A and B are shown apart, each in its own frame.
Chain A
Amino acid sequence: MKITVKVWRQTGPEAPGKLVSYQLDDVSPDMSFLEMLDVLNENLATSGEEPIAFDSDCREGICGMCGLMINGSAHGPLRTTTCQLHMRSFSDGETITIEPWRAEPFKVLRDLIVDRGAFDRIISAGGFVSVNTGSAPEAHSTLVPKVNADRAFDTAACIGCGACVAACPNAAAMLFLGAKVTHLGELPQGQPERDSRVVKMLNQHDHEGFGGCTNVGACADACPKEIPLDVISQLNQDLRRAMVKGY
């Protein structure tokens, strides 16, 4: 396949960036999207140009590092992570525009790499369960109903990739936040801190400069882990209850 890519190039956080076109003449449809970028980087290195900086780690869809905005869609046309996307999803001769996530709290560090540290700070504000560590508890000592266990499991699938923020017209991180709040709120271990958690995490979210949710739903459409929109409703419900209790 012949492919033209237009890639966002930016030398540093404060530097102005621009889209630069590159030509690739021999792309196999079986290549993953990131392999295509690897090939391009090899070409660039051979010709003495600076390779394109992009993030990736596991390359199997579980770490959440590899988010890219591909032709205006977070993680590209399929509902997977960028690393799980293959060139067969594109047609021969196509021009593909690749941009970094864009949101004020996600600063572009270089080319396609953004700093998702804001997510870490939201988690440290309350996305955890305080327990005394020791040996693992006996599995049958705390029973969890199947429905709750399933929901906690599904929402725990969030890999913190940031596609929800990237796709949101408001650049809100509510799907991420809702996934974390629901995941812990469904389990008995999450109950003691449930009220304070939602308030603290939401305050941190706003403090980081993410936008406000208007229930558009673009996040859930973009999420590679298929986190459903109802986690945001859960977040609102938990928040309402916490506010009633004076948190």
Chain B
Amino acid sequence: MKLLMAVTGALFVFFVLMHMYGNLKIFGGQSAFDTYAHHLRTFGEPILPYEGFLWAFRVVLILSVVGHAYSAFYLWNKANGARKGRYAVRLAGAAAWRSTTMRWGGVALIAFLVFHLIQFTTHKVNFNSGVSDATIGESPYQLVVASFQLWWVVLVYLIALAAVGLHLQHGVWSAAQTLGCTTSVAARVRAKALAMFVAVVVVVGFALPPLFILFGIVE
């Protein structure tokens, strides 16, 4: 179970980093970003059909989400089974807090993921009265910029990012631990530092585009 959790988690870290790289292309201007988005969909053509590579990738990700969540709930459930009688005084210490954030933070992330996909991948809802559906089809850049001009959209994203950061910080080091890579004190310190680094890079990397758009530096 824990191996499943660690391996799927590692896949997400890889995906998230790639996703961030794509996002940062927005600083390259409209054409760079649009080409990238288009390129993702035509990757591997003509050997693979349109969006073929992207779908293969999506299937892997979806399976990973399912596996990750399944093992998480399995462990959660097992923990409840292992302590039916509650303590009268809550467990003291920061450690207990970490476990709560992993669980509820994970649940919050799934909710966010749904919102995010509806907004940017299927564009089913349109909050941006300024841009018509036709422009969105042509230029994802316009969609992104228009969305992040709304302050509350930015706020939702920043909150989600905070959750992502916390989840990554515990998750990355935890995966190293589960895979048995941290068998000395030095290795543990290194794994924790790596986890912190990944978390900070991801949070900053993802936060930059929305903030720059909100403050009108990118338009």
Contact = CB atoms under 8 A, between A and B. Distances in A.
Nearest to B86: A102
B89 A72 contact: yes
A19 B176 CA distance: 41
Contact of A215 (B87, B91, B173, B185): B173
A216 B75 CA distance: 13
Nearest to A77: B92
A232 B174 CA distance: 11
Contacts of B174: 214-215
Q: How large is the interface on B (under 10, 10 to 19, 20 to 34, 35 or more residues)?
A: 35 or more
Contacts of B149: none
A171 B88 contact: no
Contacts of A222: 93
Contact of A71 (B3, B92, B95, B185): B92
A19 B180 CA distance: 42
B91 A167 contact: yes
Contacts of B180: 233-240
Nearest to A220: B95
B98 interface: yes
Interface string A133-175: 0000000000000000000000000000000000101111000
Q: How large is the interface on A (under 10, 10 to 19, 20 to 34, 35 or more residues)?
A: 35 or more
Given A218-B91, A218-B95, A229-B177, A209 B82 contact: yes
Contacts of A169: 79, 91, 95-96, 99-100
A171 B79 contact: yes
A83 interface: no
A210 B82 CA distance: 5
Interface of A: 6, 8, 19, 69, 71-73, 97, 99, 102-105, 108, 167, 169-172, 209-218, 221-222, 228-230, 232-240
21 contacts: A105-B82, A108-B85, A167-B93, A169-B91, A169-B95, A169-B96, A172-B82, A209-B81, A211-B79, A211-B82, A212-B75, A214-B75, A217-B98, A218-B96, A218-B99, A233-B178, A233-B181, A234-B180, A234-B183, A240-B3, A240-B179
